[in-house]
Amino acid sequence: MKLISYNVNGIRSAMSKGFVDWLKEENPDIIGLQEIKAHEKDIDPTIFQDLGYNLYWYPAVKKGYSGVAIFSKIKPKSLKYGMGLNKYDDEGRILQADFDGFSFISSYFPSGTTGDERQGFKYEFLDDIFGYMQDLRNENTTVILSGDYNICHKPIDIHNPVSNKNSSGFLPEERAWMDKFTGSGFIDTFRHFNPNPHQYTWWSFRANSRAKNLGWRIDYHMVTNELQNRLKSAVILPDVKHSDHCPIVLEIE
């Protein structure tokens, strides 16, 4: 089974750059999208339904902002929209689809790059989603939390760890949260298979960063330890360019 996570930085923008043709060719069973910046009524859903996908949207209340979605060729047994906390749910931060054998969550963690207020909001989210995921694990041991975490975990995950040591997304507190999260029973699937540096999932639009591969690895498929024996592969697709992010792929049995 092929699972993809992709921050599309606006689904309408991505569609104008060939996203639909790419999706048809890549043909994942499930794709979790982040930063969709649209409601379902803002596009023609039959474009994706004709490819065999069931569409589940969780947009932000604010138009043109944030939001997540899951497109799946398998109908989920159940869906859960949000965390039950309005301050995050109004921004469309997480959507969970439950299937036979696992639950898949498309998540979009807040960014703290716009200042102290949003950085504080990000820390609140990190605390709350940690507790939320621990509670979920008590109910369901096979969980995949995929999406844009807006955090580079280790120096290998960022092109210049020294100059970015005080940058949101690579702050000591954020990296410590990643240590705590992976230590609580979650596997970073890409690093499970790929120990090599210079592999990123996001590049700034500035300074020709993507062409120079001056990137950050901030998108993850994190899975509970109980899924380790079902992992087949995990790869990044840096040559797919509909967004400032690129897709990440996970294959499981």
Q: Active-site positions?
A: 148
| 3-class secondary-structure state, position 34 | strand
Distance from CA of residue 245 to its chain's centroid?
10
b/e per residue 161-176 (b: at least 16 CB within 10 A) = eeebeebbbbbeebbe
In the structure encoding, which two tokens stand for residue 58, read together?
């969780």
CB burial class (10 A; 0-12, 13-18, 19+) of residue 103?
buried
Task: Write phi, then psi, for 225 (nearest 5 degrees).
Answer: -55, -30
Dist CA 159 CA 231 (whole Å) = 27
What is the Cα–Cα distance from 97 to 103, expressed in whole angstroms?
6
Distance CA 14, CA 18 (A): 7
Residue 82 one-letter amino acid:
G
| Residue 225 DSSP one-character state | G
**The two structure tokens encoding residue 145:** 């939390």
User: Is 48 within 8 Å of 74 (Cβ atoms)?
Assistant: no
Look-up of token digits 């996001």 = 202
First to last CA, the chain: 6
Q: d(Cα 90, Cα 68) in Å, to the nearest integer?
A: 11
